[in-house]
A = this chain, B = another copy of it.
């Protein structure tokens, strides 16, 4: 028997597997059913294993159907769920799908113990204005129930169509399962990334705390650096690339990690450093680089750690890089780092006001700082974001 929408729907069903966002997928499926089968509306009651509840998604179609409030989710003791979940449907129905009209006919001449559940299931279908309800299982578990409203042509559903819906419903369940697995894996990925970031934040803050004068420096520099990158990204798409922002985030957190190698007596000296102490202090970008070098995944971030004390005119350290030789990631951290150092009080001098620090940044832009990075920073200040 030829079913006119069969081919189209089969192709559409195959493509479902490529949609990995469960919510998008489910809405796509009900919309697709409405359009291809040409019914007034369609819906899915989908099992959420964590809460053992069935969540309803409906596509109203142009005709529309009003599902009463309170039906956004139904419990496993809902008649229709029980009907398909506990085996009644398999016992009563020739095909394991409930057609409203057939069900009514069955009810009239039937008086067995399953009469009540059948009656309540049909009543549930009336509420949903459903003509057909098709269950789908994964192994023995009821994954969901797909239901369809009246055909626009007002024709009945034929047995061959019901067979097709049963197969289709199992494709749907598979696609949803697949999408959920993807979602779980992605959540796991985010969790691992958060674990990495949070641990790095905690350890960097602890190392930060060794330097009594710069409490919270690392986290402020990281925040400022990301703000600068987003500002630059408004004009240059490469800079708003998530990968670049990720590397910058990590580099910000780790930029002063090398201070772990500087004696506390130098870090916490309540006076300006002498030349020898200054030399020791200036080793921190290379110490940090040495600590992180073995970690291949940090390759791009290390550039920010290593070169955040380079200056645009070549007078910085450790390598005296000049102009565009300095990686952008380092130029960004440099401005954020210098600003934060300027506005922080030291025992032997009071910190600049923000306005004074901005004036100083303007003054050395193009000499100490990459001018486009300094400009972005000043813009942020003028917008009141710093």
CB < 8 Å: which of B10, B206, B292 contacts A260? B206
The reply to whether B195 and A297 form a contact with Cβ atoms under 8 Å apart is yes
Query: Does A82 sit at the interface, judged by CB under 8 A?
Result: no
Contacts of A198 in B (CB 8 A): 294-295, 297-298
Shortest distance in angstroms between A294's beta carbon and chain B's nearest beta carbon?
A: 7
Q: Please, how many angstroms separate the alpha-carbon atoms of A210 and B206 in the complex?
A: 13
In the complex, the count of this chain's copies comes to 2
A182 CB contacts on chain B under 8 angstroms: 181-182, 185
Q: In A100-143, which residues have CB < 8 Å from any B CB? A: none
A261 touches B297 (CB 8 A): no
Inter-chain contacts of A192 with B (CB < 8 A): 189, 192-193, 196
The proximity string for A residues 1-37 relative to B, scoring 1 for CB distances below 8 Å and 0 otherwise, is 0000000001000100110100000000000000000
Which of B167, B189, B206, B294 is the one whose CB lies under 8 Å from A202? B294
- Complex Cα distance, B181 from A18, in Å, reads 10
- Chain B residues in 8 Å Cβ range of A18: 174, 177-178
Indicate if A223 sits at the interface (CB-CB under 8 A): no
Residue of A186, A188, A189, A209 with highest tally of chain B CB at under 10 A: A189
Instruction: Answer whether residue A171 sits at the interface, using C-beta atoms and an 8 A cutoff.
Output: yes
| Chain A 166-219 interface residues, beta-carbon cutoff 8 Å to B | 167, 170-171, 174-175, 177-178, 181-182, 185-186, 188-189, 191-196, 198-200, 202-207, 209-210
A298: contacting residue among B195, B263, B298, CB under 8 A: B195
Alpha-carbon distance between A198 and B292 when the two chains are bound, in angstroms: 9
Interface bin, chain A? 35 or more
Closest B residue to A188 by beta carbon equals: B189
In A142-181, which residues have CB < 8 Å from any B CB?
Answer: 167, 170-171, 174-175, 177-178, 181
Give every chain B residue within 8 A of A298 (Cβ-Cβ): 195, 198-199
| Minimum C-beta distance from A366 to chain B (A) | 35
Report yes or no: B260 in contact with A210, Cβ–Cβ below 8 A: yes
Checking B171, B174, B186, B297 against A185 with a beta-carbon cut-off of 8 angstroms, the contacting residue is B186
